[in-house]
Structure 1
């Protein structure tokens, strides 16, 4: 018995005839987003006006005296530009000094280098971590999933589950999940 997966646009509910017409959308920030970035899919035609609707935004950090941490503010570029009254904002920015970057102490920097784990290596790929999953790690997991899951199970770490949409998305395993008939919610 075979299975047929019917896909719909997350935005409009419209039936997807061809997977090549789908656009993957990663939502990084939204007032209703509580637990970090999420992915949705929509038909390319539904997104035709996105570029026209995009805003020119400025992200600034406010380092207020007496405050330990800077405050990040995102605002429309036009509103930010209007804050400059002595000269146009473009002129103010051209004359500004480069922002100082904080440099960690030598001992902290060397410690961080020593502890850095290469998740794109076969011995570390697939391990849970908080960082971004690189394309190199995804490729290793895609090519060696069974071997990696055996290693993870032996280590007592969670394995990569093709029925878990977060795992499938994180490691780019959509095609493999479809091939074995696992549907994603």
Structure 2
């Protein structure tokens, strides 16, 4: 088992019409041993931006803190809110700087651009290779199941309520087929004027 998948978990981000959604599961474990069922994997980075990460918990917290520090310095220097693409590039550069002793994380960024309000999603590997998508991105131990469900259910121009239904069904059905993920999920739907957070109750075994 790789270090990235040691603690398991999954994250998925999905585009809609003028909105974007991010969903994570709640399980924190050490291989098959479940340690917690309310572990947080998504972080509010900016008014319309979320960062989800799976991997080693200490690396997740370290990457979050150091990237937030760099983001705050950027905003102080530029006197404006950081948009998703520069943030993703900064995160990618940070991970690539440590490629010889990498942080064992798989980040997923979901956001709306602060000026154009254009939806943006991307994921990257542990050394920062960016994969920007126009439909959905996934990370974690059940990526094959997530890709299958997303490919089946996703369609263009989903409104916020439809997007919630699609991403919720995708992540629940995916981690039901993965013993290393699950124990409920949280879905964030980001719109231009609000962020809706919903918790999903699922099978607890």
Structure with higher helix content: 1
Task: Indicate the TM-score class for this superposition, using the shorter chain for normalisation.
Answer: under 0.3
The structure whose RCO (Cα within 8 Å, separation 6+) is larger is 2
Q: Structure 2 length normalisation: TM-score?
A: 0.21
Q: Structure 1 length normalisation: TM-score?
A: 0.22
Structure with higher strand content: 2
